Structure 1
Amino acid sequence: MSITGIHHAQITIPRGAEEQGRQYYCHLLGLPEIEKPDSLKGRGGFWLQVGDRQVHVGTEDGVERTRTKAHLAYHVDDIATWKQKLQEHGFEVLEGVPIPGFERFETRDPFGNRLEFIHSLT
């Protein structure tokens, strides 16, 4: 018996903010939305495909997302272009603590969720 991988991770956005979330995640970041099962469609939110994994964007109110270190890290192939694109769209970019073999930065989505963009130097 063993854990064999991660199927998905979930973040949350405020209830009713799905269209703003789609603008950020689907249009700005370019992540494709995938259909939720019929049994879950009434719960709000949307799902994204990220490589061979999924990110589920759920909805909940009363969460102070800017106060947590919890985050998703997106592996990218051109970190400089991502940094520039996010800055051009008004998102603050913070340099991450250096990790040998990687270049990375942090930002927050429009709802305060912490995101890391990371590029392997090898």
Structure 2
Amino acid sequence: MQFEMIGLDHVQLTAPKGSEEKARKFYGEVLGLKEMAKPEKLISSGGCWFICGSQELHIGVENEFIPAVKAHPGIVVKNIEAVVSRLEESGYQVKEDTRIEDRKRIFVNDPFGNRVEFLEYY
């Protein structure tokens, strides 16, 4: 039986337990992602979910939290300079990476130390 990979449904990052409001501020207010309702049976596990284009970005919580410093989501954006401005105005340090020729890429750490990439294709 053959199968086909169709795409990604979601990416999950983790955060410390009880940090949902901090996640909502960064992902919702700073980045402008719309929060979506979690399924009723998953609400008690904590965390929050956001819509990111046609995919979802899930922020789960862990008691023994360790930030993802290498593994990361790559979020495609339009007008990356506006993203840079928004992040810097909000107090986040942005790092540019020019090693791939056909796209502009930046990296930022979320409030929990997770690496997040934003990229815009030329």
- TM bin (shorter chain): over 0.9
Aligned residues: 120
- Give the secondary structure class of the aligned counterpart of 1:64: coil
Q: Please report how far the alpha carbon of residue 79 of structure 1 lies from its aligned counterpart in structure 2 after TM superposition.
A: 1.0
1:6-60 deviation per Cα after TM superposition (whole angstroms, max 9, x unaligned):
1111001100000111011111101001111111010000111111111111001
> 1:1-122 to 2 correspondence within 5 Å?
1-65=3-67, 68-121=69-122
Q: Residue 117 of structure 1 aligns to which amino acid in structure 2?
A: F
CA-CA distance at 1:97 after TM superposition: 4.1
Q: In 1, Cα distance between the equivalents of 2:82 and 2:4?
A: 38
Question: What is the distance in 1 between the residues matched to 2:53 and 2:101?
Answer: 24
For the residues of structure 1 that align with 2:58 and 2:94, how far apart are their CA atoms?
24
- For structure 2, the residue ranges without an aligned partner over 5 or more in a row are none
Distance 2:60 2:66 in 1: 15
Return the letter of the residue paired with 1:18. E
Contact 2:98 2:104 (C-alpha < 8 Å) held by counterparts: no
Compute the TM-score of the two structures, normalised by the length of structure 2.
0.92
Question: Which runs of no fewer than 5 residues in structure 1 stay unpaired?
Answer: none
The structure 1 segments of at least 4 consecutive aligned residues displaced by more than 6 Å after TM superposition are none
Distance in 2, matches of 1:89 and 1:99, equals 27
User: What is the TM-score with the length of structure 1 in the denominator?
Assistant: 0.92
Q: Distance in 1 between matches of 2:81 and 2:6?
A: 33
